[in-house]
Structure 1
Amino acid sequence: MTTRLQLTEWSTTPGVRLTPPQRDLLRTVFTATVQPSPGTNDLFDVTPGNIIGAGTVDGLAIVIRPKIPISRVLFLLGYATDPDHWRDGEAAIDDHVDVVDVVDAVATLYLRTIRRTIGRGLLAGYHEVRDTQPTVRGRIDLAEQLKRRPGLSAPLALEYCQHDHDIPENQLLLSAALLLARLPLRDTATRRELRRLTDSFPDVTPLQPHRSRIPSITWTRLNGYYRPAVELARLLLSGASPELGAGNASTDLLRIDLTVVFEDFIRAALREAAHLSPEEFPDGDHCAPLRLDVKGRVRLKPDLSWHHHGTWRFVGDVKYKRDTGPGANPDLYQLHAYATATGLDDAWLIYAFGPPEARTHQVIDEGPRLHVRHIDLAASPNDILTSMSLLAAELLPTDGASTLSA
């Protein structure tokens, strides 16, 4: 029999009885703080961090909710993967969804996204197949043939291209649906719909849910309509892991890092407001080369950047945490490094939580201006998007200047 433990992001739940694999799941996968309860030998105080989701191990279904409304998490996820759909006003999520478990809520969002995608037809494409057959098709893999069947003429080791639905895009969509169906869902109708959805991919091979095996996709005009669903599937699968540490326990996981979700949303909203492409306004891993030191040994990867025709136009950083005031030195030091490396007079720091007042720090000796802003995630989705449009108008240059005015 499976019991259920429900936790909340950044809130401590005292006196929880846990087995070693359950503690390992909380510590290593969800990065929760697990400490012995005072005066006990077998109970623990558990404080999750900014990773939400669910997993079952040793008969315990562990569910971690966000501290913000679940509807806001779904909004951030949905907008970051498909801004056009949200801009058209078709994907509003009401606050009543907060009565639903976080796993059911994410499954509902995924079902909605994937139905809209495959409603246009299942994507087909060419992929390479390695197989053994009695007759020649494509070309013979001589190395494989000689290794496995030296001196034998049949069956033949072959390599050939095949055109069907068993392509990475569909494999990702199917794998995410299978993962969600195995999680501790409360709504039986959602579970049934996920299982029906998997029947839509009869000839597709699911992937193993391990981060290193999640394929990246090259987007073109032919498969572009798949992008929102596939990016959401990749996000869900990137948090899945079939093994827990060195033990024998295993589980299926929904693991969502709200730091990544918030950062993706801010970047997507600024892109949309400024009409910039992902190539023009990339994430840190794909930004233009940026070094802090003369010899180029210290690589910088700002969360937000715009490098246009060899000139830095904008740089910024995103923090999914509360701004505790003007003395948040490590965050400002990091922002100062970005401003120094890019040569910009202004750099911007966006927090998820904090006082409504905007702040600007003028660095001494005519250094750069470090601007601090906050996004109210308790506001409605429309209000959040309005605030992002106003923020983009303030942050991003609209003329040929390479810096912003104070």
Structure 2
Amino acid sequence: MTGPDLTVPETGPGIVRELTGDQVAALLAVPDLVRLTPAPGGRWRLRGNQKAGTVRLRTPSGAAVLLRLRPKLPVRDLLFLLSYAPGDPWRPDPVTAAESDELLPAVASLLARTARRTLDAGVLHGYRTVEEDLPLVRGRIRTADQLRRVGLPLPVAVRYDDHTPDIAENRVLLTALRLAARLPDVPAGTRRSLRHLCDHLTGVRPLRAGAPLPRWTPSRLNARYGPVLRLAELVLSARSVQPDGGAPATADGFVLDLPEVFERFLTVALGEVLARRGIRCAGQEAHHRLDEARLVRLRPDLVLYRAGRPVSVVDAKYVLLARPAPSTGHLGQLLGYCTALGLPHGHLVYASGVQEGPTHHIIRRTGITVTAHTLGLARPPAELLAAVADLADRITATASGPVSAPASGS
């Protein structure tokens, strides 16, 4: 049984629709996806909540609600933020006109095209350690296991290295291809391409549902897999939603948290520029130096270190800076970070703003300055990266050194 198809823009007044109690229950079960409020005439208003993607929600009666969350950024610009990696010349292909307004079809098509280029050059093989019982000796005998056996000497407990395609890189890729082929809104032609690509990975085991992604180490041997694995991990990590009062649950869809996308891009792109200047960027570290008892935990988006000492702190805000000054909440948050780290200067970086250029805010009785910057995301990649470099220049100019020097991550 199917329910309504709801397309909710990220910004603006949202949409007003008639919904049954069953459908409202499905939307309220995952409260972070949209903001749901009553509207006149017994209807409901749905507004965006900084999410993008497509998800099919199940109602208590077993019906389905298809929810499309449309980002304010053009899909091509959002794909660039998602795919950016330091020192990597690869850039996502342009999206087609049919995909330009919908994120999920664009991501699925990009995954199929990138996987095809990768696998056309051959399936990556690697060595995997196998332990099993065989009727003959292969590799090394597992002596301790073999000596514990009573009776016949066969089978033999052995351990050997197998040259196989069943390695972490291919398991991640296969699982993402299979998942993308099942997602709602993926065009039929893209589904066929994704399933055909799965056939290239014979002998590879998909990951169990809900299992953590296996680790793989970038190297010269798997370098050509880098772009497609970033896309595969994106598809797999965006498959969960957070039900009210419960743990993350696998959803039939693809949902991005846009503040996380902005924060990751800023961390990677800004860190790449600052690394060339001898400054290391650490993201989401926990610090406990705000109060004497060290009971208050702070987790800044980005702490900058030079020679092991914190020299600045940056917080990413995926909101519009609509006034000349940041909100008191944002200023207070940066003030806490600077106080805990012993820093005289901190930075707020907004995804957009009504005015160009940074604004400086000296906090009375503290000697701490908070600078607010805007980084417009709807611009060509080269211009956006140039703006990040300018931002790095402004931050570096204030990173003269801390008043005190707490240890990294303390």
TM range (shorter): 0.7 to 0.9
Distance in 2, matches of 1:390 and 1:250, equals: 40
Q: Shift of residue 22 of structure 1?
A: 7.4
The alpha-carbon distance between structure 1 residues 185 and 329, as it changes in their structure 2 partners (threshold 3 A), is: same
2:33 corresponds to: 31
Aligned amino acid, residue 127 of structure 2: Y
Q: Aligned with 2:89: secondary structure?
A: helix
Distance in 2, matches of 1:394 and 1:250, equals: 42
Q: Shift of residue 25 of structure 1?
A: 5.5
1:312 corresponds to: 310
Matching residue within 285, 303, 321 for 2:319: 321
Matching residue within 82, 92, 96 for 1:77: 82
The alpha-carbon distance between structure 1 residues 393 and 163, as it changes in their structure 2 partners (threshold 3 A), is: same
For the 8 Å contact 1:283–1:302, the answer to whether it is kept is yes
Q: Aligned with 1:281: secondary structure?
A: strand
Deviations 1:296-318 (CA, angstroms, capped at 9, x unpaired): 44333221222232211331010
Aligned amino acid, residue 83 of structure 2: G
For the 8 Å contact 1:9–1:67, the answer to whether it is kept is yes
After TM superposition, the score normalised by the length of structure 1 is 0.81
Distance in 1, matches of 2:352 and 2:374, equals: 6
Q: Aligned with 1:312: secondary structure?
A: strand
Distance in 1, matches of 2:49 and 2:337, equals: 27
Q: Shift of residue 394 of structure 1?
A: 1.4
Q: Aligned with 1:93: secondary structure?
A: coil
1:65 corresponds to: 70
For the 8 Å contact 1:75–1:93, the answer to whether it is kept is no
1:110 corresponds to: 111
Q: Aligned with 2:343: secondary structure?
A: coil
For the 8 Å contact 1:348–1:370, the answer to whether it is kept is yes
For the 8 Å contact 1:244–1:250, the answer to whether it is kept is no
Q: Shift of residue 66 of structure 1?
A: 0.6
Aligned amino acid, residue 323 of structure 1: L
The alpha-carbon distance between structure 1 residues 133 and 263, as it changes in their structure 2 partners (threshold 3 A), is: same
After TM superposition, the score normalised by the length of structure 2 is 0.80
Unpaired runs of 5+ residues, structure 2, are 404-410
How does 1:36-55 map onto structure 2 within 5 Å? 36-40=38-42, 43-55=43-55
Q: Aligned with 2:349: secondary structure?
A: strand
The alpha-carbon distance between structure 1 residues 383 and 327, as it changes in their structure 2 partners (threshold 3 A), is: closer
How does 1:121-160 map onto structure 2 within 5 Å? 121-129=122-130, 131=132, 133-135=134-136, 137=138, 138-139=140-141, 160=160
The alpha-carbon distance between structure 1 residues 116 and 364, as it changes in their structure 2 partners (threshold 3 A), is: farther
Distance in 2, matches of 1:223 and 1:36, equals: 52
Distance in 1, matches of 2:147 and 2:179, equals: 36
For the 8 Å contact 1:236–1:256, the answer to whether it is kept is no
Q: Shift of residue 167 of structure 1?
A: 1.4
2:406 corresponds to: none
Distance in 1, matches of 2:35 and 2:150, equals: 57
1:254 corresponds to: 254
Q: Aligned with 1:77: secondary structure?
A: helix
Q: Which moved more, 1:294-303 or 1:251-260?
A: 294-303
Deviations 1:64-84 (CA, angstroms, capped at 9, x unpaired): 1112211221111122x4652
Q: Aligned with 1:213: secondary structure?
A: coil
Task: Select the structure that is richer in strand.
Answer: 2
Deviations 1:101-148 (CA, angstroms, capped at 9, x unpaired): 2211111332344345445543322334455545555555978999xx
Q: Shift of residue 252 of structure 1?
A: 2.3
Alignment of 1:385 onto 2:393? no
Alignment of 1:359 onto 2:364? no
Distance in 2, matches of 1:25 and 1:217, equals: 36
The alpha-carbon distance between structure 1 residues 157 and 339, as it changes in their structure 2 partners (threshold 3 A), is: same
How does 1:231-310 map onto structure 2 within 5 Å? 231-241=230-240, 251-276=251-276, 280-285=280-285, 291-310=289-308
Deviations 1:163-208 (CA, angstroms, capped at 9, x unpaired): 3111122111111111111112353222222122212211211113
Distance in 1, matches of 2:28 and 2:177, equals: 24
Q: Shift of residue 348 of structure 1?
A: 0.8
Alignment of 1:13 onto 2:15? yes
Alignment of 1:396 onto 2:373? no
Alignment of 1:336 onto 2:338? no
How does 1:148-227 map onto structure 2 within 5 Å? 160-210=160-210, 213-227=212-226
**Aligned residue pairs: how many?**
390
Distance in 1, matches of 2:328 and 2:395, equals: 22
Distance in 2, matches of 1:99 and 1:265, equals: 21
Q: Shift of residue 240 of structure 1?
A: 1.6
